[in-house]
Structure 1
Amino acid sequence: MIFNTKNARPVALTAGLLAATALAGTASAQDYEVAYLSASSANTWLSRSLEEMEKVAAANGVAITEFDGQFDAAAQTAQLQDVIASGRYDGLIIAALNGPGAVPDIEMAIEEGIEVVVLNQVLGSDLTTSAPQVDGVAASVMVAPYHSGTRLGGITVSACEGIDPCEVVYLYGIKGTPLDTAIRNGFDEATADSPNITVVAEGEGKYLGPDGGIAATQDILQVNASFDVVVGPDQAIQGTEIVLEDEGMLGDVKLIGFGGSAPAFEGIRSGAWYGTVMGAPADEGRLAMEAMVDALKTGNDQGGIDPLAAMPDDGKVTADNVDQFSAQWDG
């Protein structure tokens, strides 16, 4: 997931905990109650997922109550424990802020007969798989961070074809986090058999808009006057594009993002960007609620679901296939 913090949904505080936001009118007949534990209601990616969840829920007699974690793992843990203790909910969908730490409470929820679907973030410690890591989880809908990295590396190999050496600038989102470490490991694995590719500089672009990419690219240009490719989160690459255009270098450097945002698609179509790894928050939300409905009504478990696996070219978007995709979020 690519984090952003625009368009905040107001959420009240009650007794020191973040209160749930009840979503009125989400079901014509409320046959089931589902708690949605969001990492952040202000996050534009997860907001897009919620829109699709609401549509599926409304068509299947499911009422949703959203709990806003506000990127606070401790608050989300308290919310999760409250949901279980309430005895109110038939199911819960969670975008976990602390994947390993949430496991004991999720195990408790399953013991209490609550159906559980994991959304977007790994619930557990293995960042290389979309498969559930807790017995009894009905479905886990996400792109494993490691495989985001292999896809990013695959586009880089294509961009570097015929360039030797191909000098690459790598922009982390937040360097040192398990998420970004797993993405980088996948990138390194995918590029390992391409000796022409060398990462000549690294930076940290964040996930909060172009400013991080602007600062990181400006710093890198102080040491590396030229390079062939820049890869990083879509938001950071937007900043890199601004800097390179100001420096008259935009046509000489291939830009590769991950996130599949509307600006990335615009950049690919205009020729300013080489490619991006598709992001599918709408598909994630739809698939998660469909899996929840299936679990509630039939008891079926769908296991791990990678929403990019069925897309053209494994979700790797370039000018050659961009017309086969549609952006699912604004970035």
Structure 2
Amino acid sequence: MKSLSKPSRRLVIAVGVALSLTLAGCNSDVSQVYSSSTPQNGKTGPVRVALLASSSQNGFNKAVYDGAVARAKEYGDVEVTVFDGKFDSQTQFNQVQNVAGQGTFDGIVLVPNDNVGIAAAIPAAARAKIPVVTTLFPVGPQLTELKPQVQGVVSTVAADTEANSKKLAEGVVGYCEGKNPCRVAILIGQLQFPFDNLRNKAYRSVLDGHANIKVVATGQGNYDRDTSMKAMQNILQANPKLDVLLSNADQQTIGAQVALESAGVDPSKMYITGGGGNQEAIKQVRAGKWAADQVDFPNSMGKAALEQVVNAVRGKQVTPVVDANTLGPVPVIVTKEILGQHPDFAGEWAD
């Protein structure tokens, strides 16, 4: 979903230092503000929530927003305003601090660009008594720890990215059994982002244990169709024979599929994966052109995140971790066979 500029990469280093100082040196009053699921004296009346999207132009983020708005309408007195993070770490970092200082909003739902770097901005929200609920990724230095790690974050609505990535790679291992060599191309978002790096390492931890599996190329698709199409064209020039495309994002797989078909490759003759569970991906898996897809439920995540932030604002019990894998009607990894058992599932978002 995102790319990281050089200034943003410098920011990651700087905020990493700031984060360690923040976690070590927060005063006791601030550390008690929305730091657990314990109910507190809450606000009565309308609740105003800022939804900080990693990019408001992105289909996944739009689905999170739509889910939050739908849940807000059920409350009747909750308003959601979206902010465009533009897939830029510095922009979103500034937005957190601006929202914390405005006095306009009561809570924040965050879809983080840089889940590690953004942590240093969160204490400003805690000091303003503005609870933060993070979706898709946890916020803080521990990428696989879903329990809130940073003061001000009250709940995480996400799944175990490392475990889900390993499950996707295990499907590749099953397909490659008996093929030697089994040539694999990996298409990842941006390796400089912590979670994309985690995904890639999870893939390799599974694949590298099998001598017949050869990872011949790793491309970066930036969660974009055109970028991914060009990345796959470059991969095919050096590796015209591929057995597997292991991609972590549906947008990337869709773009890569264009390149494969333009090169005369029948996707159904390969093992192709995507990630996200968007509507086009579900169609491709049902049609047998893709072998598997890792499914997310962004609309449901938006609803769950909005509920937790409203609970925090109103002094009600907050659930510190909402497992996003449990929010939908299908397993986290779907195949044509599994989707056949769920004929009504179409995916919760469109690119």
- Provide TM-score, normalisation by structure 1: 0.82
For residue 180 of structure 1, report the CA deviation from its aligned partner. Answer: 1.6
Contact 1:159 1:274 in 2 (8 A): no
Question: 1:37 maps to what in 2?
Answer: 52
Q: Residue deviations 1:159-202, cap 9 Å, x none? A: 32443432211112223332321111121233354443221222
Inter-CA distance 78–203: structure 2 relative to 1 (3 Å threshold): closer
Question: 1:237 maps to what in 2?
Answer: 253
Inter-CA distance 190–245: structure 2 relative to 1 (3 Å threshold): same
Q: 1:300 aligns with which of 293, 317, 336?
A: 317
For residue 221 of structure 1, report the CA deviation from its aligned partner. Answer: 2.3
Q: 1:55 aligns with which of 42, 47, 70?
A: 70
AA in 2 matched with 1:328:
E
Question: 2:272 maps to what in 1?
Answer: 255
Contact 2:229 2:259 in 1 (8 A): yes
Supply the distance in 2 between the matched residues of 1:329 and 1:255 (Cα, whole angstroms). 20
Inter-CA distance 159–287: structure 2 relative to 1 (3 Å threshold): farther
Contact 1:147 1:183 in 2 (8 A): no
Q: Residue deviations 1:11-67, cap 9 Å, x none? A: xxxxxxxxxxxxxxxxxx952222222222222211111111011112222122333
Determine whether 1:214 maps to 2:244. no
The structure carrying a bigger helix percent of its residues is 2
Question: 2:20 maps to what in 1?
Answer: none
Inter-CA distance 218–102: structure 2 relative to 1 (3 Å threshold): closer
Question: 2:300 maps to what in 1?
Answer: 283
Question: 2:140 maps to what in 1?
Answer: 124
Q: 1:99 aligns with which of 97, 115, 120?
A: 115
Question: 1:176 maps to what in 2?
Answer: 192
Q: What stretches of structure 1 of length at least 5 have no aligned partner?
A: 5-28
Question: 2:14 maps to what in 1?
Answer: none
Determine whether 1:326 maps to 2:335. no
Q: What stretches of structure 2 of length at least 5 have no aligned partner?
A: 4-43
Determine whether 1:186 maps to 2:202. yes
SS across alignment from 1:127: coil
Supply the distance in 2 between the matched residues of 1:246 and 1:74 (Cα, whole angstroms). 38
AA in 2 matched with 1:128:
T
Question: 2:288 maps to what in 1?
Answer: 271
Query: Per chain length, whose mean CA-contact separation is higher, i.e. which structure has more relative contact order (CA < 8 Å, sep 6+)?
Result: 2
Question: 1:19 maps to what in 2?
Answer: none
Supply the distance in 1 between the matched residues of 2:117 and 2:240 (Cα, whole angstroms). 44
AA in 1 matched with 2:179:
I
Inter-CA distance 290–194: structure 2 relative to 1 (3 Å threshold): farther
Contact 2:242 2:270 in 1 (8 A): yes
Contact 1:131 1:305 in 2 (8 A): no
Inter-CA distance 105–220: structure 2 relative to 1 (3 Å threshold): closer
Q: Residue deviations 1:262-316, cap 9 Å, x none? A: 2211111111111111122112111111212222334323122231146577400
SS across alignment from 2:314: helix
SS across alignment from 2:222: coil
Contact 2:300 2:327 in 1 (8 A): no
AA in 2 matched with 1:274:
A
Aligned-residue RMSD, C-alpha: 2.5
Supply the distance in 1 between the matched residues of 2:261 and 2:99 (Cα, whole angstroms). 50
Supply the distance in 2 between the matched residues of 1:253 and 1:290 (Cα, whole angstroms). 42
SS across alignment from 1:321: helix
Contact 2:2 2:189 in 1 (8 A): no
Inter-CA distance 135–314: structure 2 relative to 1 (3 Å threshold): farther
Percent identity among equivalent residues?
Answer: 30
Deviates more, 1:196-205 or 1:181-190: 196-205
Question: 1:22 maps to what in 2?
Answer: none
Contact 1:167 1:197 in 2 (8 A): yes
Contact 2:136 2:157 in 1 (8 A): yes
Supply the distance in 1 between the matched residues of 2:327 and 2:68 (Cα, whole angstroms). 20
SS across alignment from 2:349: coil
